Amino acid sequence: MGEQLAWGTTYVAVRPDHFRVEYQINPFMDPTVQPDPARAREQWDTLVATIEELGGTVHVLDQRPDAPDMVYAMNLGLGVERHDGTRHVVLSHMRYAERRMETLTAQPWFAGLGATTSYVGRDGVGAHFEAGDAFAFGDALVVGYGPRTEELGLKHLATDLGVRVRGLRITHPGMYHLDLAFCPIDSTRAIVCPDAFDEASAAALMAMVPEPLVLTEAEALSTFAANSIVVGDTVLMPACPDHVRAQLEDWGYAVRILDLSEFHKGGGSIRCLTNPLDVRLGRDLPVVPGGEVVIP
Ligand code: ARG
């Protein structure tokens, strides 16, 4: 029986003032298929209003005009709260140069919240890390690596934060971030798509989640159902296959479907658009002095 997540009510999001599909760095992006700016703004406003209606808080960061993908705020960095209330953010070092300027804006913004910041690499030098690949779950920070985050980055995360990192190798080009294949629901439950990973990592993931809710490859890719967030006892999802809804409701969760179709054109949905700021070290993520990396 899972215990509700203590994190997931405070987020940072980037208002889509300059959202476009300008280049192609994932299989969903096609620059000849542009989002409609007014619809995108409406969908984003509804997402923010829904989080607030459920008791959550959304901090809004302005989008850089030169950073069309910055709306996917999940990838700006990985933030944690220390027990004394101070924060630390490990900034992303984007795999593709097209997104690296986003961090230049994110760093001072996080610092303005009082956060200390660190980086695993920058300007193309050092390990890549994109925060959509990292979630606190169970006894560790679960980190997907392969398409975006590099294996070398796991060590930096473990030592910078003083936590255990459990690495999972992503092999599916369409599930290029962990958040397209993994969504923590509560302390023992998560939505998972094992097809995103190599065999050993898929097995490690299934061993890590006591009560997995399994998506097929087709469900994960065509509905973005894993790219969801949990606010209180409500799961906000872009779509929800019937068996997923039945299981979530059976576990006591309410499902709210939100249309984020304009953002699917850039390859992301609800989780990608929101970055949780309230994951707490020692509560949501056990402290492991010196850090530790576990790879299947
Ligand atoms: N176009 C963005 C990229 O390829 C989409 C990011 C989706 N974000 C996520 N957390 N999965 O980087």
Residue-wise pLDDT for 58-100, tens only, equals 999 999 999 999 999 999 999 999 988 899 999 999 999 999 9
Query: What pLDDT was estimated at residue 241?
Result: 97
Q: Is the CB of 272 under 6 A from ligand 1?
A: yes
Q: Is the CB of 163 under 6 A from ligand 1?
A: no
State the Rg of the chain over Cα: 17
Q: Is the CB of 177 under 6 A from ligand 1?
A: yes
What is the residue extent of each domain of the chain? 10-14+27-291
Residues of the chain with pLDDT under 70: 1
Query: What pLDDT was estimated at residue 84?
Result: 87
CA of 102 to the centre of ligand 1 (A): 12
Q: Is the CB of 26 under 6 A from ligand 1?
A: yes
CATH superfamily of this structure's domain 10-14+27-291: L-arginine/glycine Amidinotransferase; Chain A (3.75.10.10)
Tell me: the pLDDT tens digits for 263-292?
Answer: 999 999 999 999 999 999 999 999 999 999
Q: Is the CB of 63 under 6 A from ligand 1?
A: no
CA of 72 to the centre of ligand 1 (A): 6
CA of 264 to the centre of ligand 1 (A): 9
Q: Is the CB of 269 under 6 A from ligand 1?
A: no
Q: Is the CB of 264 under 6 A from ligand 1?
A: no
CA of 266 to the centre of ligand 1 (A): 7
Q: Is the CB of 72 under 6 A from ligand 1?
A: yes
Query: What pLDDT was estimated at residue 136?
Result: 98
Backbone angles phi, psi at 108, to 5 degrees: -65, -30
Query: What pLDDT was estimated at residue 83?
Result: 83
CA of 43 to the centre of ligand 1 (A): 17
Residue with CA closest to ligand 1 atom 1:
266
CA distance 89 to 126: 17
Q: Is the CB of 25 under 6 A from ligand 1?
A: yes
- Residue to substitute in 20, 69, 193 for testing ligand 1 pocket (most ligand atoms within 8 angstroms of CB): 69
Query: What pLDDT was estimated at residue 2?
Result: 82
* Ligand 1 nearest atom to the CA of residue 29, by list position: 1
CA of 97 to the centre of ligand 1 (A): 13
Residue with CA closest to ligand 1 atom 9:
272
Q: Is the CB of 135 under 6 A from ligand 1?
A: no
